[in-house]
Structure 1
Amino acid sequence: MSTTTTDTPATPMNAHGTSIYQDWLQGEHGPMRYWVSEPKRGAPVVFIHGYAAMVEHWKQITLHAARSHTFYALDLYGFGESARPSGEPTRERWAAQVATFIREVVGEPAVVVGHSMGGVVATEVARSYPDLTRALVLVNSSGMQLFERPPTFFDTVMMNALSLPILGEAVTCAFTNPCTLEYSVRQGLLSAYHNKERVTPELVQTFTTPLRKYGARSYLAASRNFRGLTLEAFPGDVRAPTLLIWGAEDRSIPPSDAEAIKAHLIPQAEIVVLPDTGHCPFDETPEAFNQALLPWLDRV
């Protein structure tokens, strides 16, 4: 059940009669942090972040979305401020976490929005828990890379290196060295963002803080299971209305992956490609993202 220690996020958000609150839910693998908007409006929408991210990554669109729909966002286990459980992180475990959240906090079927790796989780929610899924939105979702772009020799070497005991930990320690951590995080964000000016010191600090506090063990565990974090569905498995929102300038997961998802997995999906936008459209071009998402939510 949800705890009773509701508080505002680290950066309080209030506008147009809407407030965002932070709370915690005790789940199967420990406490999970989430944000929720008040008052409740329209359909509930649950936002699921991508690899290495957290609820704060949705901040640019939170209040705008909450004007017409109840906004929820949670930290997946292993990221943000949620628990760091042992064992292999899988799409099934994260989907079960989201399903528990919808049952116990939302209390009714929700629109599930997943970004990048969170798209794999959101798809698993829609496939395995259709009774909890009102609609599905995938934002630059990962999960098709192995099918669309088989790993190069260098990719294979790197994945094998990360999977090795000691060596993987050594690479992680080098990445999280206090002297180079902010630089490493900034470079990673710059490679994902088409609009480089959006990679602000505040954004870098947001992504750096959990690494300083908890280390990168859970990040390494997710990286080691990269081959298991694919989109697993056949046409008909996902019956919910589906929207695919993609940044046209995403270099790591290009819009062709959206076409592949529609062609091979979710034939009813609608696709919206946003120009001049990279991997994180809700943060890079939030106005265009809202224009793609919110009218569609009203229709479905």
Structure 2
Amino acid sequence: MVESTFMNGSRRVRFVDIHGHRRAFVKTGSGPVLLLLHGVACDHTTWDRVIAPLATDYTVIAPDLLGHGQSAKPRADYSLGAYANGMRDLLAILGVERATIVGHSFGGGVAMQFAYQFPELTERLILVAPGGVGREVSPMIRLATAPGFKQLMGVLTVPGVRHVNRTGLRLAHAARLPGTRDIDEIAKIYDSFAQPGACAAVQQVLRGVVDRRGQFVTMADRAYLTESMPISVVWGAQDPIIPASQAHLVERLAPGAQVEIIDDSGHFPHRDHSEQFIRIVQDFMATTTPAPYDRERTRELLRGERSSRSARGRAVRRPIAAVASLIN
């Protein structure tokens, strides 16, 4: 650790240099480890409503991913694989042997990549409105990958312009205007683009997983490797960013995974309904056992020797038909 400070009067934000770049993170609590990975253009504060309650039973580690929050924003590798490597290195520095990986949005994609690259370090996966399940994604996300986006944000984040636009977004959210679900969180993301290097980092992140037709990196081709991995998927029924209809794919890609659809919730169910989210995590942790790592079984799966068994042994909590009725 090279330095530490305090945030919100009580939460300690720590810093460590990994490969020459500063990484910020929060670490609190004791017990089994939960690694909380935020979405693109967010930071560890997206979890601020759940960190303290979860820390009563677990060791909670919530980093700012490289290019986000208080972490460095270098010209660097922002691929899913690089992020997974960075999380491995952070856990190694902290002396963590294994963890349950909790990923929201893009962080869900990082969580799945981490489990693929480092199954020996992964006990469970909790995916919250995750990227990397299906192809569909909000047009706003596709726009962020387009040429000229960084220049546009440069104009829109000039202090006076940013203040007016941010105020307008928050007023629209307060008035509950149509199409303003999650607009308060989007206002925070918009505000973050004023940080030097933030917009360039976000655009590079998104270009690694999204093009004009949607997400092109998904879990579909490697999901069979998760047969022994306990997986929970949590989605907001009114998610405008990554549609909750993609929950249909979970049953096919990861049989035995738990699926929770939270009513009256958008892309941030851990913020919209934090108490319900905490209960879901606690129940999942209490009713599942950490995934065993079997190198030989992994070899068999890679060779195509797949069985119909599901070592998770968990039923989907809500039938997919019921999920569809909530979304449609």
Name the TM-score, length of structure 1 as normaliser. Answer: 0.80
Any idea what SS the aligned residue of 1:21 has? strand
Which residue number in structure 1 is paired with residue 152 of structure 2?
171
Q: 1:110 to 1:184 in 2, by over 3 A?
A: farther
Q: When the two structures are aligned, how many residues end up with a matched partner?
A: 275
Deviations 1:243-285 (A, max 9, x none): 0011111122222212213312x22311011111111011111
Separation of aligned partners in 2, 1:261 and 1:182: 40
Superposition deviation, residue 180 in structure 1: 2.7
- Decide whether the 8 Å contact of 1:78 with 1:219 is kept in 2: yes
Q: What does 1:286-297 correspond to in 2, within 5 Å?
A: 286-297=274-285
Tell me which moved more, 86-95 or 121-130.
86-95
Q: 2:87 aligns with which of 89, 93, 98?
A: 98
Which residue number in structure 2 is paired with residue 22 of structure 1?
13
Q: What does 1:83-232 correspond to in 2, within 5 Å?
A: 83-146=72-135, 149=136, 158=143, 162=146, 164=147, 167-182=148-163, 184=165, 187=169, 194=181, 199=184, 204=187, 207=189, 210-215=192-197, 216-227=199-210, 230-232=217-219
Separation of aligned partners in 2, 1:270 and 1:104: 32
Q: 1:6 to 1:150 in 2, by over 3 A?
A: closer
Superposition deviation, residue 214 in structure 1: 2.0
Any idea what SS the aligned residue of 1:213 has? coil
Any idea what SS the aligned residue of 1:135 has? strand
Q: 1:297 to 1:211 in 2, by over 3 A?
A: same
- Decide whether the 8 Å contact of 1:88 with 1:225 is kept in 2: no
Any idea what SS the aligned residue of 1:244 has? strand
**Residue identity (%):** 20
- Show structure 1 runs of 5+ residues with no match: 14-19
- Decide whether the 8 Å contact of 2:44 with 2:64 is kept in 1: yes
Name the TM-score, length of structure 2 as normaliser. Answer: 0.74
How large is the Cα RMSD of the aligned pairs? 3.0
Q: Does 1:278 align with 2:266?
A: yes
Superposition deviation, residue 220 in structure 1: 2.2
Deviations 1:18-53 (A, max 9, x none): xx4221121125111000114x2x211010000100
Separation of aligned partners in 2, 1:102 and 1:151: 32
Superposition deviation, residue 150 in structure 1: 8.2
Any idea what SS the aligned residue of 2:194 has? helix
Separation of aligned partners in 2, 1:151 and 1:64: 31
Which residue number in structure 2 is paired with residue 17 of structure 1?
none
- Decide whether the 8 Å contact of 1:135 with 1:241 is kept in 2: yes
Q: 1:184 to 1:292 in 2, by over 3 A?
A: farther
Larger radius of gyration: 2
Separation of aligned partners in 2, 1:30 and 1:178: 28
Q: 1:106 to 1:271 in 2, by over 3 A?
A: farther
